[in-house]
C-alpha cells in the first residue's frame, strides 16, 4: 500500500490545507509583521496627494499654464492610479499604503461613481444630436449619412468647411426639411426654424449661432457653438485664454435668452469639470451628467479621453444621452433624448 506524504508549502502550511485556512494563516503572519505599518509610505503619500487634488481641484491655480483647467479636463482619469497603487501596496505588504489607497478610491467614487452607472430613462419627445465634423474630414457625405441615421429631430454640426457645406446640405435634405448655416456652424431640423442669427463669441468670425425651433411641444431656443481650441504646450501649459473669453461671451448670450426652454449643442473644447466654462455650465444642465450611460467621452475619436462635445439644456428635462458611431471626424457625435413640456 503506497504511503501518502504531505509536502510543506513555502508559507508554513501544507499543500492540502484548505484555501481559507491558508488565507487566515497568512493574515496572522501579516498582523504579526512589525513592518506592515512602516512600509509603503511613498505609496501612501502619492495616494493622499491624488485624493487632495481630486477634492481641492478648484483651488489649483490657473495663473501658470492654466494648471487647474488642465487637471479638471482629465480629472476622472486620476482613478487609474488606484489599481496601480494597490498593486504596489500588495507587493510591499503595506497596511499604511492600503488605507491611503482606499481613501483615494472613496474620493473618486464620490466624485465620479454616479457617472459610471446608466442613468438613462425611457421618456423624451425630442431627440437632438451634435457633431464636430472636422474641417479636414475626408468623407463629409458619409459623415452626414451616419448622423442622419441617428434619428435626431434637431442636429447641430460644427467646424463646417465652406466647400463641404453643399455636401452636407444635399445629403441631409432628405431627412431635415429646415436648416440654417452661420459661418462654420449649422443647425438642421425636422421642425421649422426661425430667427437664425450669429452669436458673437469674440472670435472675429462666426463660430456660434442661435435659432428658434418650433417643436410640436413649443418653441425652443437652440444655440450651436464651437469654442476655440486649446493646446497643451511644454513651455506654456494649457493655452486656453481665447477659449475662456469665448465661454464668457457665450454665457452672456445664454443669460440674455428670453425663451425659457433652451438647448446648447456643440464643441465647447472643455469638460463640465473645467472651471473656465462656469459661465456656461452654471446656468445649463448637462444631459450626459443627468441621464448618460457612462462617461460618454467624445474626443479623440480613436481613443476618447474627454467629453468636450456637449448637449446642455435649461427648462427641458434630459432623459437619455449617448455617443454615436465614429465617422470620418476626430470627434464622436453625441445625442440626447429630452422632454419638452408644453
Task: Return the percentage of the chain with pLDDT > 90, whole number.
Answer: 75
Count Cβ atoms below 10 Å from residue 183 Cβ, excluding itself. 17
Distance CA 217, CA 310 (A): 23
Cell of residue 334, nine digits: 453625441
CA 108, CA 99: separation in Å to the nearest integer?
14
Residue 69: predicted pLDDT = 84
Domain 126-339 in CATH 3.30.360.10: no
What percentage of residues in the chain have a pLDDT greater than 70?
87
pLDDT-derived band at 33, boundaries 50, 70, 90: low
In 173-293, where does DSSP find H-type helix? Answer: 241-255, 278-281, 287-291
Q: Where are the domains of the chain?
A: 32-116, 126-339
Residues 240-254: tens digit of each pLDDT: 788 889 999 999 999
Residue pair 88/97 in contact (Cβ under 8 Å)? The answer is yes
**Strands laid side by side in the 262-267 sheet:** 193-198, 208-215, 218-226, 262-267, 309-314, 285-286
CA distances from 185 to 39, 114, 132, 322, 336 (A): 57, 32, 9, 21, 19
Amino acid at each position: 500500500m503506497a504511503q501518502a506524504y504531505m509536502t510543506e508549502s513555502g508559507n508554513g502550511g501544507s499543500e492540502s490545507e484548505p484555501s481559507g485556512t491558508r488565507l487566515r494563516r497568512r493574515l496572522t503572519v501579516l498582523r504579526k509583521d512589525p513592518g506592515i505599518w512602516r512600509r509603503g509610505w511613498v505609496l501612501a503619500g502619492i495616494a493622499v496627494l491624488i485624493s487632495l487634488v481630486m477634492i481641492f481641484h478648484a483651488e489649483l491655480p490657473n495663473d501658470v499654464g492654466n494648471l487647474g483647467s488642465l487637471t479638471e479636463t482629465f480629472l476622472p482619469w486620476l482613478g487609474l492610479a488606484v489599481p496601480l497603487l494597490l498593486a504596489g501596496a500588495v507587493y510591499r505588504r503595506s497596511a499604511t499604503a492600503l488605507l491611503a489607497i482606499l481613501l483615494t478610491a472613496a474620493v473618486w467614487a464620490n466624485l465620479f461613481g454616479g457617472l459610471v452607472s446608466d442613468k438613462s430613462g425611457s421618456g423624451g419627445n425630442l431627440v437632438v444630436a451634435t457633431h464636430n465634423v472636422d474641417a479636414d474630414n475626408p468623407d463629409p457625405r458619409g459623415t452626414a449619412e451616419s448622423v442622419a441615421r441617428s434619428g435626431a429631430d434637431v442636429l447641430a454640426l460644427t467646424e463646417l468647411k465652406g466647400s463641404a457645406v453643399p455636401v452636407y446640405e444635399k445629403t441631409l435634405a432628405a431627412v431635415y426639411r429646415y436648416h440654417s448655416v452661420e459661418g462654420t456652424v449649422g443647425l438642421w431640423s425636422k421642425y421649422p426654424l426661425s430667427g437664425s442669427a450669429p452669436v458673437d463669441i469674440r472670435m472675429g468670425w462666426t463660430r456660434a449661432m442661435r435659432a428658434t425651433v418650433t417643436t410640436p411641444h413649443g418653441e425652443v431656443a437652440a444655440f450651436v457653438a464651437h469654442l476655440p481650441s486649446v493646446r497643451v504646450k511644454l513651455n506654456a501649459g494649457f493655452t486656453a485664454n481665447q477659449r475662456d473669453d469665448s465661454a464668457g461671451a457665450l454665457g452672456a448670450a445664454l443669460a440674455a435668452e428670453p425663451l425659457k426652454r433652451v438647448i446648447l449643442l456643440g464643441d465647447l473644447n472643455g469638460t463640465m469639470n473645467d472651471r473656465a466654462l462656469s459661465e456656461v455650465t452654471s446656468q445649463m444642465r448637462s444631459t450626459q451628467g443627468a441621464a448618460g450611460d457612462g462617461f460618454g467621452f467624445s474626443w479623440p475619436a480613436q481613443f476618447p479621453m474627454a467629453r468636450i462635445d456637449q448637449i446642455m439644456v435649461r427648462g427641458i428635462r434630459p432623459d437619455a444621452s449617448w455617443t454615436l458611431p465614429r465617422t470620418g471626424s476626430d470627434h464622436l457625435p453625441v445625442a440626447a433624448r429630452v422632454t419638452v413640456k408644453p
